[in-house]
Amino acid sequence: MRTLETQQVRPSIPSGKGIKIERAITVGLPAPEVYTFWRRLENLPRFLHHIESVTQTDDRHSHWEVKAPRGKVVKWDAEIIEERSNEMFSWRSLPGSDVDNAGSVWFIPAPGGRGTVVKISLKYAPPAGRLGAVVAKLWGRDAETEIAEDLYRFKSLLEAGEIPTTQGQPRAAEGGRR
Amino acid sequence: MRAVCWHGKQDVRVDDVPDPAILNPRDAIIRITTTAICGSDLHLYDGLIPTMEAGDVLGHEFMGEIVETGREVKNLRKGDRVVVPFTISCGKCFFCQRQLWSLCDNTNPNARKSEMLTGYPTAGLFGYSHLYGGYAGGQAEFARVPFADVGALKIPEGLPDEKVLFLSDIFPTGYMAAENCGIQPGDTVGVWGCGPVGQFAIRSAFLLGAERVIAIDSVPERLEMAKQAGAVTLAGNGDTFDRIKELTGGMGPDSCIDAVGMESHGATLAARYDRAKQAVRLATDRPHVLREAIHACRKGGTVSVPGVYAGFLDKFPFGVAFAKGLTLKMGQTHVPKYMPPLLEKIQRGDIDPSFIITHRLQLDDAPEGYEAFLNKRDNCVKVVLKP
């Protein structure tokens, strides 16, 4: 267990600002396994459906990219500001990010040996201007739904080994054809 | 390939659609050899199940031959003959591990939408609306079977399709309905609805040791089929309570099965009121049979509901159920739990499920099949389709 220095860090989103989302899901695997999968940040695009890529630049720092319409790329750098192995970590985006964001993920053993409660708490501040419009379009539907769906995908990926999909299955064209 | 597609209320068509492909590592593709129209497909046909989309491929009772497998499917190979359960289950989650396969956590791609309605998402089903995952169904020449490694049941050689096809749904569904009754020696079981699920519930109740089954329906040929299974039959339309009471010496059946669901007919005033409310969408379901089953059940008995309900019920006699201390059991069938033991019963000759088939059609004739089944025309009880 180790705790990184948290004193005197400028929060990336001032309190009272931004959009806050909290959501939990139970994954039927032991906490160390669930933690390890999530903490390997390169895994995240497999279930966070807006995230195109995450590159870990060192133990604490990572670079995030989201593909936006018309060839635009929304990107930011993040840093882990607190970490307790197999238990939780917190991050915040660094100055110069397209979308300021910060949050924590906890990995809590579920009662009755039912696996791990993964609890995420995050905040993001949509930028102003044209970039803001791009972000709003991406996260537009309802951020809670986005996170809920991402967590369902995460759970399925870990428990079932794949994410259920119907993308690409047959259906009749509009109006049908005989 | 050719596939039966939903286009709207009482509008199904056989369309040319693209062939299915492997989309996930645990998928398999099967070439369908026999498929069927289920009574619950008629709820889709009548436009009463929300979140259907024009173009959706129908069908959740099907079997066939494996033609391709995803890289994580190790227990099946090309050429294997399989029956596919209508419920799609991962085999790994809390619910699958407890044999609650239709409540699987990991197979509904629209989990969030499902959660918005039910609080928690339920499993994906083949060809049964987007709330249940939006999976393409098996009234087609080919189908993609997700999680084929836990779902598809291999069929030993020598058993014809028609004997094993109904392991996909109606036999397990009737069986689970009877099992949910917790039948004790000497019990009387009332079965409302002598369609395919009702017929299997009647036979399953006897297999599980019921002394007597009272079968209720308004269609003579269906009652005749119930009689052949050994049931006492009652012709009725929501007006059978007094006769059931008399038949059971004033005590009521120990358990009652509603094998009708949300579109019960009924000829009483309340039933007409239900139809009017459903027509204008003031209520989604017509619970006529369920009301009568609750009313007729003996004190401390069980009401078991394999019939499909989708939404809100009007004038549900909850106080009656409470006063009599009833147990209510229901839900989509946990098909994989029942497939192996019921296959064994078929192999032993305890039951031959093909008794239910009244109509054998080509896949291209599916629209006529739906119409005949809906209107019970030409003594139609069960339609199988050959691609």
Q: Are residues B19 and B124 in the same domain?
A: yes
ipTM: 0.92
pLDDT at B226 over 70: yes
Q: Are residues B16 and B128 in the same domain?
A: yes
* Helix ranges restricted to H, B193-300: 196-207, 220-228, 241-247, 269-279, 288-296
Q: The domain that contains B106 carries what CATH number?
A: 3.90.180.10
User: Where does a domain end: B311, B330, B349?
Assistant: B330
pLDDT in tens, B27-69: 999 999 999 999 999 999 999 888 999 999 999 999 999 999 9
Q: Exposed e or buried b for every residue in B39-61, given b needs 16+ CB within 10 A?
A: bbbbbbbeebbeebebbbbbbbb
Is A11 part of any domain?
Answer: no
- pLDDT band at A67; cut points 50, 70, 90: confident
Is A165 part of any domain?
Answer: no
Q: Are residues B10 and B83 in the same domain?
A: yes
Average pLDDT over residues B237-250: 93
CA-to-CA distance for B284 and B286, rounded, in angstroms? Answer: 7
CA-to-CA distance for B201 and A158, rounded, in angstroms? Answer: 38
pLDDT at A81 over 80: yes
Query: For a pLDDT cut of 70, what percent of chain B falls above it?
Result: 96
Question: What pLDDT was estimated at residue A3?
Answer: 45
- CB of A173 within 8 Å of a chain B CB? The answer is yes
- CB of B112 within 8 Å of a chain A CB? The answer is yes
pLDDT at B291 over 90: yes
Taking an 8 Å cut-off on Cβ atoms, the answer to whether A171 and B7 are in contact is: no
Handedness of CA B117, B120, B122, B124 (dihedral sign): positive
Q: Could you tell me the CA-to-CA distances from A70 to A96, B139, B222 in Å, in that order?
A: 22, 40, 62
Question: Which residues in chain A are closer than 8 Å to B140, comparing Cβ atoms?
Answer: 170
pLDDT in tens, B152-166: 999 999 999 999 999
Q: Are residues B74 and B131 in the same domain?
A: yes
User: Which domain does A55 fall in, by range?
Assistant: 19-160
Secondary structure (3-state) at B201: helix
Is A152 part of any domain?
Answer: yes
Q: Which comes out higher in pLDDT, residue A114 or B237?
A: A114
Q: Tell me if B17 sits within 8 A of B57, measured CB to CB.
A: yes
Residue in A145, A159, A165 nearest the CB of B24: A165
Q: Are residues B159 and B17 in the same domain?
A: yes
Residue in A152, A159, A174 nearest the CB of B55: A174
Lowest mean pLDDT among B21-35, B183-197, B229-243: B229-243
pLDDT in tens, A134-156: 777 766 657 788 899 999 999 99
Q: Are residues B292 and B368 in the same domain?
A: no
Average pLDDT over residues B348-368: 98
Query: For a pLDDT cut of 70, what percent of chain A falls above it?
Result: 88
Q: Are residues B301 and B363 in the same domain?
A: no
Is A75 part of any domain?
Answer: yes
Q: Are residues B155 and B6 in the same domain?
A: yes
Number of domains in chain A: 1
What are the structure tokens assigned to B114, written together?
A: 């499902």
Secondary structure (3-state) at A176: coil
For chain B, give the mean pLDDT: 94
CA-to-CA distance for A6 and A10, rounded, in angstroms? Answer: 9
What are all long-range contacts of B357-365, with beta carbons under 8 Å and residues at least 24 apart?
A: B357/B162, B357/B381, B357/B382, B357/B383, B357/B384, B358/B382, B358/B383, B359/B383, B359/B384, B360/B384, B360/B386, B361/B385, B361/B386, B362/B386, B363/B2, B363/B4, B363/B14, B363/B35, B363/B139, B363/B140, B363/B141, B363/B387, B364/B2, B364/B14
- Which of A27, A166, A167 should we substitute to test contact with B (largest number of B Cβ atoms within 10 Å)? A166
Q: For residue B7, what are the contacts with CB-CB under 8 A and spacing of at least 6?
A: A172, A175, A176, B13, B54, B55
Q: Are residues B180 and B162 in the same domain?
A: no
- CB of A29 within 8 Å of a chain B CB? The answer is no
Taking an 8 Å cut-off on Cβ atoms, the answer to whether B15 and A173 are in contact is: yes
Question: What pLDDT was estimated at residue B269?
Answer: 65
pLDDT at A27 over 50: yes
Q: Are residues B282 and B376 in the same domain?
A: no
CA-to-CA distance for B75 and B73, rounded, in angstroms? Answer: 6
Is A54 part of any domain?
Answer: yes
Q: Could you tell me the CA-to-CA distances from A141 to A164, B190, B208 in Å, in that order?
A: 21, 49, 51
Q: How far is A9 from chain B (nearest CA, A)?
A: 36
CA-to-CA distance for B60 and A162, rounded, in angstroms? Answer: 22
pLDDT at A7 over 50: no
User: Which domain does B130 fall in, by range?
Assistant: 2-168+333-386
pLDDT in tens, B104-118: 999 999 999 999 988
Question: Which residues in chain B are closer than 8 Å to A155, comparing Cβ atoms?
Answer: 105-106
Residue in A26, A145, A159 nearest the CB of B106: A159
Comparing alpha-carbon positions, the chain A residue that sits nearest to B121 is: A152
pLDDT at B283 over 70: no
- CB of A114 within 8 Å of a chain B CB? The answer is yes
Q: The domain that contains A44 carries what CATH number?
A: 3.30.530.20
Q: Are residues B242 and B282 in the same domain?
A: yes
Q: Are residues B294 and B346 in the same domain?
A: no
- pLDDT band at B275; cut points 50, 70, 90: confident
Question: What pLDDT was estimated at residue A50?
Answer: 86
Q: The domain that contains B294 carries what CATH number?
A: 3.40.50.720
pLDDT at A89 over 80: yes
Number of domains in chain B: 2
pLDDT in tens, B70-119: 999 999 999 999 999 999 999 999 999 999 999 999 999 999 999 998 89
